[in-house]
Amino acid sequence: MKVIVIGGVAAGMSAASKLRRSNKNAEIVVYEQGQHLSYGACGLPYFVSDEIKDYKKLIMRTKADFAKVGITVHTGHRVTGVDETAKRVEVLDLETGMTKTDDFDRLLIASGASAIRPGWPGIDLENVKTLGTIEDGQALKELAMSPQVEKTAIIGAGFIGMELAEAMRTLGKQVVLIELKDQVLPLFDKEVVEPLEKELVEKGVELHTAEKVLSLEGDTRIRRIVTDQGSYEADLVVVSVGVRPNTQFLAGTSVRTASNGAVIVDGQMRTNVPGIFAAGDCATVVHGILGTDAYIPLGTTANRQGKVAGSVLNDEDASYANALGTAMIRVFDLEAAKTGLTEREAEQAGLSYRTVFVTTHNHASYYPDSKPVYIKLVYRADDKVLLGAQLVGHSGTALRVNVFAVAIQAHMSVDELGMTDLGYTPPFSPVWDPVAIACNAAK
C-alpha cells in the first residue's frame, strides 16, 4: 500500500508517524511546500517576541528523523492537482520549476491553511506581513527586532493578533491593534473579554474595535493604515484576520468542501471519495456537541485528526467526533480560555439554554496576591447539562478550562460538576474551586 500525504506539519506528520508505527511495510510519501516539518506553529508569536530565541526549538522532528523510519519527505514541493480516478497527484518542485506526477493507493490531504490577505489597496507594500509558517516568523522577527521599526500595527484581534500585540510590546514597540468586530477575541462572548481589553490598554496597546480597514498607504513601504474612522502611522503591519484552507489544488475533483474551502470529513477523516482522507486546518471536524461539520483550525485538533487518520489509513478502528474548540491564550498578565459553545453559538444553534457569569478568585482570598477570575457558563435549560465555558483571569485560570472540557464530553450537568471532588490548598484554589463556584451559581 502506497500512501501520499499532502502537507508535512501537524496533521500530516502525525498521520504519517501513526501509520508507520502501525504498518512497517506501507510506502509513505509526504509532499510539503515549505522547508520545515512537524513544528509548533503556535509558538511563533513567542519566537517573534524573542522569548524563544531559536526557531529550531519549535521543530519536533526533522526530515532526517522521518527518513530513519522509512517516511519519504519532499520539502519544497507543492501539490498542484489531484486525479481521483487515476489516483495520481501532480507535484511542482518549487526550486527547479519542474512538474511530476505520483501515484497513490490512498491519499491524505493535510495541506493546512494560510493567513488571509484581504484585497485592500496597498496590501503588497513592503513590511506588510502575516504569520503562519516558520519562514513568516523569521521575516517578521527580523523586522520587529530592527530599531528602524518603531510603530507597529496589528490588524485582527483574534488569538494570533492578540499574541502579536503582546510580542511587539515585549520588544518595546508602539502598537496599534485594529479589530473589525466590536470586541477582541470574537470567538468569546463580549462581556467575558472586557478584562482583556482593559489589560491591553493598560499595557500600552492602542486598541480600536468596531473599526474597518480601508487601505494601506506608502511609497514602496507601508507608512500608514487608513480606516473608516482615521489613519495610523506604521513601520510594520501584521495582518491577522483569519485563515483560509489550502485546498485550491482540489479544483476539478468531486471532493466535497465547505463554503470556505475546507474538505468535509466524517469522524474517521474520510472524504466523500473512497481512498481520499483529510485532516487538520484544511478540513472540517465533527463538533462534539452539535454533531455538525465545523471548522476549528487549532493545533490540538489537527494532531488528533492526524492520529485518527493514520489509524484509519491502516484500516484500524478510530474516530474523532468530539471537537469542542478548547483553546487558551495569555494576554500580558491575564489568561483566557474557552471550550464548547458560547452563548452566541448556542443561540445560533437554536438551543434552549441558560447562562451564568461569576467573579471569584484564583486562590484563597486570604493567601497573598489573590486575583479575580471571571467565568461564564452556558448550559441546557432543562437538565442543566454543561454546553460551554469561558474563563478570564490571572495565574491558574486557563488550565481550569480542561475540567470543563472533560465535563462537557462526559455530558455532566453543572450540578454534578459543582459537587465534584476538586482539590484545594490556599496557594492554588479557594476551598470551593472557581469551577465549582461557577457551576453552583447556575440556576
Distance in angstroms (rounded) separating the CA atoms of residues 393 and 395: 7
> Got the DSSP string for 20-52?
HHH-SS-EEEEEESSS--SB-GGGHHHHHTTSS
DSSP secondary structure letter of residue 414? H
Backbone angles phi, psi at 345, to 5 degrees: -70, -40
Query: Beta partners for 233?
Result: 224
User: Given the C-alpha cell 509532499, which residue does it identify?
Assistant: 31
Using alpha carbons only, what angle is made at residue 54 by residues 48 and 57, rounded to the nearest 5 degrees? Answer: 110
User: Given the C-alpha cell 470586541, which residue does it identify?
Assistant: 183
Residue at 96: amino acid letter: T
Residue at 89: amino acid letter: V
Distance in angstroms (rounded) separating the CA atoms of residues 272 and 195: 44
C-alpha cell at 36: 520545515
Any alpha helices (H) in 289-431, and if so which ranges? Answer: 299-313, 343-348, 401-409, 414-418
Residues, the chain: 443
> Got the DSSP string for 173-230?
-EEEEE-SSSSSSTTS-GGGGHHHHHHHHHTTEEEE-S--EEEEEESSBEEEEEESS-
**Does the active-site annotation cover 439?**
no
Contact 199, 374 (CB under 8 A): no
Q: Identify how many contiguous H helices and E strands the chain contains and give both numbers.
A: 11, 25
C-alpha cell at 92: 511542482
Q: Which of 1, 42, 406, 437 is catalytic?
A: 42
Helix (H) or strand (E) holding 14: helix 10-22
Query: Beta partners for 207?
Result: 177
Residues with a known catalytic role: 42
